[in-house]
Amino acid sequence: MHYVLAIDIGASSGRHIVGWREGSGIRTEEVYRFPNGITEQDGSLTWDTDALLFHVKAGIDKALEKYPSIQSLSIDTWAVDYVLMNGGSPVLPCYAYRDSRTEAVIGEVHEKMPFPELYRRTGIQYQPFNTLYQLYADKVSGRLDQADGFLMIPEYLMYRLCGAESHEYTNATTTGLVSAETGEYDPGIISVLGLPARFFGPLRQPGTVIGEYRGIRVMLCATHDTGSAVEGIPMEGCQPYISSGTWSLLGVKTERPVITEAGRLANWSNEGGAGYNRYQKNIMGMWLMNRLRAELCPDRPWDEIMAEAAEKHFDHLVDVNDPVFLAPESMKAAFDSRLPHPPRCIAGYFRCACRSLADGYRRAVEEMEQNTGRRYDRLYIVGGGAKNTYLNRLTEESTGKQVTALPIEATALGNIRIQLKGGTDT
């Protein structure tokens, strides 16, 4: 039996899932799960990369106890964040994308290359945490002077396993530094921003074997978790998807990047897929409800919260993409600041969050159809948010699309599929 191991790490947890072909399908078993989260260090928001590596190795040990003949493994995580490297060692801390350090440099970046030109070259949406702004902040602070390169977080973790440094295509596209035309790092952007050219090597595709750990081949999947999630959707034809987690990534596969002025103004992105372009948009996702729950009712089950939210009559909406919701000290206070009056009960906040998300999906689907010149009749939802039946119902009502909710580990499944059909050596 050909067993492979997918290590799928999100902003709040990680999991190790073994997969194998059985009949015409793929069977999976979760063998290890661990917590993750942003930590505060000297007033900045960071990731504990030592803890991540510890759990990555511990999970591999657990997987090998039950499946000693695992043939390959791969790691996917969220996008945009990275570890600076110097002589093979990390330059810490590893900043988290919700940290505010880029705010001071975004204007300077756009003075050197205005965002319309950045978008024309890359097709990547504006987000204040995009990697190019983070790297430029590191340049201004002098951190780049201490480094000879960088690795995105999944690349860093695989480097610590097998000793091979690599830059994987799908995750690299999220940096805002990859040319939509060539599919490689854009030397024009790198030069204008004064970033070290030595940092930016050739990009490798999902399915490439980069090394070995304990007799297991270490292989690149689509290391951006959304790239793997789209690979894991059992989709009929080419239909839109929502990868619903901390963020909701709503998009559709296209043959090539869709770079238009309308797309730029509506903040649509073109990110790399495993052999195709992903035309998609970041929408603030389950982060809203997760933070509300942690603040207002941490011990209440989700089904009770959602059932009560469905019965209430608080019908005001907020713009879920308002920056006020990105990293507030109080999510309740953030909602209060954007509502004409606060809800009278806790359930009202969750009702507002769900209805606002569904409305955000509606607007995004309408933009996508206009920008691509295509109409779609179905919307696939995967990830943790696919389990929220109330939100799924609201989404179907709001968008007018048939919603197919698949509460599966789509990211791990996509990671596994790439490994099972991959195997190209470096």
Residue spans of alpha helices (H) in 32-144: 49-66, 106-112, 115-122, 131-141
Q: Are 90 and 127 in a shared domain?
A: yes
The structure's pTM equals 0.89
304/419 same-domain check: no
Q: Are residues 135 and 267 in the same domain?
A: no
Per-residue pLDDT tens for 173-229?
999 999 999 999 999 999 999 999 999 999 999 999 999 999 999 999 999 999 999
Do residues 392 and 416 both lie within one domain?
Answer: no
Identify whether residues 194 and 273 lie together within a single domain.
no
Q: Residue 360 sits in which domain range?
A: 235-407
Instruction: Let me know whether 113 and 243 are in one domain.
Output: no
- Residue from 318, 311, 317, 302 nearest 345 by CA: 311
- Which of 344-364 are b and which e, b meaning 16 or more Cβ less than 10 Å from the residue's Cβ? eebbbbbbbbbbbbbbbbbbb
Active site residue 81: no
Within this chain, do residues 389 and 296 fall inside the same structural domain, yes or no? yes
Q: Are residues 9 and 62 in the same domain?
A: yes
Residues 419 and 389 both lie in one domain: no
Tell me the CATH number at 158: 3.30.420.40
- Residue 8 shares a structural domain with residue 43: yes
> Into how many domains does the chain fold?
2
Give the residue-averaged pLDDT of 69-85: 98
pLDDT in tens, 87-146: 999 999 999 999 999 999 999 999 999 999 999 999 999 999 999 999 999 999 999 999
Same domain, 55 and 187: yes
- 394 neighbors 403 (Cβ within 8 angstroms): no
One of 225, 336, 377, 425 is an active-site residue; which one?
225
Three-state secondary-structure class, residue 125: coil
208 and 303 inside one domain: no
